[in-house]
Amino acid sequence: MIQFILNNEEVLTESSPTTVLLDFIRSEKQLTGTKEGCREGDCGACTILLGELVDGTVQYKSANSCLMPLSDAHGRHVVTVEALNQNELTPVQEAMVEEGGTQCGFCTPGFVVSMTGYFLNNKKFSVDDAVDAMSGNICRCTGYSGIERAAERAIVSYNRASSGKNHIERLIEANFIPPIFKSVKDQLKKIKRKSLKAKKAKYFVSGGTDLYVQQWENVVRADADFASDEKIPNEIISTKTKIKIGGATTIQQILESKIIKKYFPALPEDLELFGSLPIRNRATAAGNIVNASPIGDLTNIFIALDADLHLKKGSEKRSVRIRDFYKGYKLVDKKKDEFIEWITFNIPHGDFHFNFEKVSKRTYLDIASVNSSIYFLTQKNLIKSAGLSAGGVGPIPMYLKNTSELLRDKLISTETVRSAAEMALTEISPISDARGSAEYKKLLLRQLIYSHFLVLFPDKIDEIALLKGGEIF
Ligand SMILES: Cc1cc2nc3c(=O)[nH]c(=O)nc-3n(C[C@H](O)[C@H](O)[C@H](O)COP(=O)(O)OP(=O)(O)OC[C@H]3O[C@@H](n4cnc5c(N)ncnc54)[C@H](O)[C@@H]3O)c2cc1C
Ligand code: FES
Ligand code: FES
């Protein structure tokens, strides 16, 4: 039995844990405010909020219900637009109406839910941040400026509202959310987190943002196990020498992690190019690695950092370097029922430099055409060691071994960049596809290698000289 709170209703259901949450909401519960658009996590029409008890408070995150198994609703508060509807419009809904933020209306519930989630999750507000919170919502009609104005208007409404005792009470008093939100914490406390482990699971689901895009019709008809049942950790820890990332840690957790920020200050901004907020709220580190996409962003980063994967199957444990994990297109060194528990890599020390680059057809909410990461350990003007990865230029996410070795003990100079780029092009075998021709991808990788050096060592590289000549075809 799966037990959760849907808006203000306590749900106890025997529906299959693999059921798509969107289908449960719309078909089983007849809550049709949550729309089905793309069913691929791209449009945001199906956005819901997921409330979870964390350290005694309920934290809400936006999620795409079209990619979410019902099992992950267990023990949580699922909020659809119907929960927000009251006798009067909420300030968010009113702002959307007044500012022309809605026309045909199909996308509107998704925007309202995302914007309300923004108010639930923050205490200080800006239009830019509100817009970021709606990065997973697409509107075909309005051209977005009405929606941006609506965010601004809703912020003004919030700031004018009287202050309640705590954030939730203030939002209730200001009519952003109904009073039922006050009792959710106590209701969730009563729900025991039970294991939903299947006897013979065919699939293993973490965030579902890959599996439910690729093969949801198969998954809903089969039994599956879920990351929570296998107790895959979802936290980031630093030991004396290592950073440890739990397999079930989400991309958004990594983006917000103080540990990551401390050692990789540019990475949070880089990870904003990963999908959208609702996707990042669900997509996990291990899911990114095991789906074996040649253009997985986190995979690309971990390969450059020479991460180790720690796998477990029952009580058996083993470790494998991520650089050795990929054996062919979508083929990985992992047995059935073996799970990635942790991903670890060395804590940077000395003169450590790291950079990630990604080019996609559109800047946000898109997967890469080509991506690349690099780390350098330097001593004055000398590269002591380097690790370069490249995605989208071969059947697997690649570690460019020869290029990384070539960089060792070289001066940081324009000449070194050029020879590294030349070597890299001998290590890759891109194919032409919807994301670009093979020639274009070669050109992209060369430019990304140039970018790594220009971003990290702007004073030591002559950009004009680098960009002159250098024909590759
Ligand atoms: C709209 C959209 C945008 C996206 N944008 C990006 C992007 O910008 N960059 C990017 O890299 N990816 C992107 N993705 C792809 C996807 O979100 C990521 O690859 C994500 O990290 C997958 O994680 P998940 O937990 O959702 O995986 P799931 O779908 O749950 O699982 C994927 C695979 O990994 C396996 N698996 C999951 N966890 C484990 C584990 N602990 N041990 C062993 N096997 C496991 C599953 O069995 C399955 O085979 C996007 C997807 C969508 C839908
Ligand atoms: S239906 Fe488009 S994101 Fe879910
Ligand atoms: S109002 Fe029509 S899609 Fe946004």
- Give percent of the chain with pLDDT exceeding 90: 88
Shared domain for 343 and 375, answered yes or no, is: no
Shared domain for 173 and 276, answered yes or no, is: no
Q: What pLDDT does residue 128 have?
A: 96
Count H helices and E strands in the chain, helices first. 20, 19
Shared domain for 292 and 279, answered yes or no, is: yes
What does the alpha-carbon distance between residue 132 and residue 410 come to, in Å, rounded to a whole number?
41
For ligand 2, the distance from its centroid to the CA atom of residue 67, given in whole angstroms, is 8
Residue 200 located in a structural domain: no
- What is the distance, to the nearest Å, from the Cα of residue 283 to the centroid of all Cα atoms in its chain? 5
Question: Which atom of ligand 1 is closest in space to residue 204's alpha carbon?
Answer: 47
Domain termination site, one of 287, 316, 347:
347
Tokens 């509202």 found at: 161
- The answer to whether the beta carbons of residues 371 and 359 sit under 8 Å apart is yes
What single letter denotes the amino acid at residue 112? Answer: V
CATH label of the domain that carries residue 31: 3.10.20.30
**Mean pLDDT, to the nearest integer, of 350-366?**
90
Shared domain for 175 and 29, answered yes or no, is: yes
What does the alpha-carbon distance between residue 158 and residue 119 come to, in Å, rounded to a whole number?
9
Ligand 3 lined by 106 (C-beta under 6 Å): yes
Quick one: which ligand is closest to 37's CA?
A: 2
Residue 196 located in a structural domain: no
Shared domain for 179 and 297, answered yes or no, is: no
Q: What pLDDT does residue 350 have?
A: 94
Shared domain for 248 and 169, answered yes or no, is: no
Residue 452 located in a structural domain: yes
Higher pLDDT, 437 or 471: 437
**Ligand 1 site residues, Cβ closer than 6 angstroms:** 40-42, 204-211, 213, 227, 232, 247, 274-275, 279, 282-284, 286-288, 290-291, 296-298, 339-340, 367
Shared domain for 379 and 252, answered yes or no, is: no
Q: Please check the confidence at residue 471 and state whether its pLDDT lies above 60.
A: no
Shared domain for 389 and 318, answered yes or no, is: no
Q: What pLDDT does residue 469 have?
A: 64
Q: Please check the confidence at residue 189 and state whether its pLDDT lies above 70.
A: yes
Ligand 3 lined by 193 (C-beta under 6 Å): no
| pLDDT tens digits along 437-448 | 999 999 999 999
Ligand 2 lined by 42 (C-beta under 6 Å): yes
Ligand 2 lined by 282 (C-beta under 6 Å): no
Shared domain for 45 and 161, answered yes or no, is: yes
What does the alpha-carbon distance between residue 45 and residue 35 come to, in Å, rounded to a whole number?
5
Residue 203 located in a structural domain: no
Shared domain for 95 and 176, answered yes or no, is: yes
What does the alpha-carbon distance between residue 125 and residue 366 come to, in Å, rounded to a whole number?
26
pLDDT band at 285 (very low <50, low <70, confident <90, very high): very high
Residue 133 located in a structural domain: yes
Q: What pLDDT does residue 472 have?
A: 53
Residue 49 located in a structural domain: yes
Mean pLDDT taken over the chain = 95
**Mean pLDDT, to the nearest integer, of 424-430?**
97
Shared domain for 435 and 334, answered yes or no, is: no
Residue nearest to atom 4 of ligand 3 (CA): 139
| pLDDT tens digits along 305-316 | 999 999 999 899
What does the alpha-carbon distance between residue 255 and residue 268 come to, in Å, rounded to a whole number?
4
Question: Which atom of ligand 2 is closest in space to residue 38's alpha carbon?
Answer: 2
Q: What pLDDT does residue 165 have?
A: 77
Q: Please check the confidence at residue 167 and state whether its pLDDT lies above 70.
A: yes
Domain termination site, one of 131, 162, 191:
191
Shared domain for 439 and 424, answered yes or no, is: yes
Domain termination site, one of 325, 347, 369:
347
Q: What pLDDT does residue 176 have?
A: 96
pLDDT band at 192 (very low <50, low <70, confident <90, very high): confident
Ligand 3 lined by 143 (C-beta under 6 Å): no
Ligand 3 lined by 142 (C-beta under 6 Å): yes
CATH label of the domain that carries residue 461: 3.30.390.50
**Mean pLDDT, to the nearest integer, of 213-225?**
95
Write out the two tokens for 166: 């705590």
Look up the domain containing 306 and give its range.
231-347
For ligand 1, the distance from its centroid to the CA atom of residue 405, given in whole angstroms, is 31
Number of domains the chain is built from: 3
Higher pLDDT, 166 or 73: 73
For ligand 1, the distance from its centroid to the CA atom of residue 276, given in whole angstroms, is 13
Residue 237 located in a structural domain: yes
CATH label of the domain that carries residue 290: 3.30.465.10
**Mean pLDDT, to the nearest integer, of 89-101?**
98
